[in-house]
A and B are shown apart, each in its own frame.
Chain A
Amino acid sequence: MATTQSNPYDSGIKGYIAIALGWFIPGAGHWLLGDHKRGILFFISIHALFLTGLLMGSVLVLNRPDEQLWNYSEMMAGWPTIVGDRLKTTLYPDVDDIDHPSGYSPMIEDAATAYCGVAGMLNLLVLIDLFLLVSGDHQPQSTNVPPKLPAEGEK
């Protein structure tokens, strides 16, 4: 009889809470499921990329009316996008009327937008990995034990 291999990440509803939490706080999903090192790695790298983008271009790079595709990917980064967008709508309520400062650098603004957008896409990659772990379709190789073959004559 083939042994059923238990998925260490299959923790029922907790797994799906981890996915939602992983969207809101990048890396928190892996942390919640006990993969602390990976959670810290994703937390630091995705936040660092997103915040570097915000540092270069400020909250003005979020939810740009002429960059819809980047806006969608930024939404995947979770709380930094939500807080940043809230700040932007509070501080710059009428975006179209913003006068750019004298040293306006459009390529830096685009690069900052790309930083935030890529951070969101990377969090999407992390969420897909998390979903595959929780659903049992994919497991790290270290926990991949091949199932026992049925013994001779055993059904």
Chain B
Amino acid sequence: MIPAFFPSELLAWTPFIDPLYSIYPDLDGWWLPLLIPVAFVVSLVFQGVKRPTLDGVLPATLWMTLKILFFMALICAGIQIFYVLVVPHTTTPW
């Protein structure tokens, strides 16, 4: 039996030619988790360039990925606090 996450439209889907959202509509809510693979690959390539040997590159990559995600969250929290607490007092009504 075909599982529910395997829609019949997948049969007509051509990878790299048709966008993924043509078979899985309204994927916009998934943009945030998509940051994790980017942070991981950026860390991996950076550590690969930086380190003299590739020994221990994976733990260093994971640690750097966590740091990137943590500081992104920190910046987001800072912007949110600024937006909620400061901006209402600085903007004038139209």
Could you say which residues of chain B place their CB within 8 Å of the CB of A57?
19-20
Q: Which of A10-18, A41-49, A67-75, A146-154 contacts B (4 or more CB under 8 A)?
A: A41-49
Q: Which of B40-48, B66-74, B81-89 contacts A (4 or more CB under 8 A)?
A: B40-48
Is A95 part of the contact surface with B, judged by Cβ < 8 Å?
Answer: no
Could you say which residues of chain B place their CB within 8 Å of the CB of A58?
16-20
- Would B22 and A101 count as touching, CB distance under 8 A? yes
Could you say which residues of chain B place their CB within 8 Å of the CB of A76?
none
In the complex, what's the smallest C-beta–C-beta distance from B43 to chain A, in angstroms?
A: 10
> Hey, what's the 0/1 contact readout for A102-126 against B, CB within 8 Å counting as 1?
1111111111101100110010011
In the complex, what's the smallest C-beta–C-beta distance from A45 to chain B, in angstroms?
A: 5
Is B30 part of the contact surface with A, judged by Cβ < 8 Å?
Answer: yes
Inter-chain CB contacts under 8 Å: number: 104
Is B15 part of the contact surface with A, judged by Cβ < 8 Å?
Answer: yes
Q: How far is the CA of A108 from the CA of B29 in the complex (A)?
A: 9
Q: How far is the CA of A122 from the CA of B42 in the complex (A)?
A: 7
Chain B interface size, under 10 / 10 to 19 / 20 to 34 / 35 or more = 20 to 34
Nearest residue (CB) in A for B31 is: A107
Could you say which residues of chain B place their CB within 8 Å of the CB of A126?
45, 48-49
- Would A108 and B54 count as touching, CB distance under 8 A? no
- Would A91 and B17 count as touching, CB distance under 8 A? yes
Nearest residue (CB) in A for B39 is: A118
Is B6 part of the contact surface with A, judged by Cβ < 8 Å?
Answer: no
In the complex, what's the smallest C-beta–C-beta distance from B50 to chain A, in angstroms?
A: 9
- Would B41 and A45 count as touching, CB distance under 8 A? yes
- Would B44 and A41 count as touching, CB distance under 8 A? yes
Nearest residue (CB) in A for B38 is: A118
- Would A108 and B28 count as touching, CB distance under 8 A? yes
List 16 A-B residue pairs with CB atoms under 8 Å apart, sorted by A's residue number: A37-B54, A41-B54, A48-B41, A49-B38, A58-B17, A101-B19, A101-B22, A104-B21, A105-B26, A108-B30, A111-B34, A115-B38, A118-B41, A118-B42, A125-B46, A140-B53
Which residues of A line the B interface, CB within 8 A? 37-38, 41-42, 45-46, 48-49, 51-52, 54-60, 84, 87, 91, 101-112, 114-115, 118-119, 122, 125-126, 129, 140-142, 144
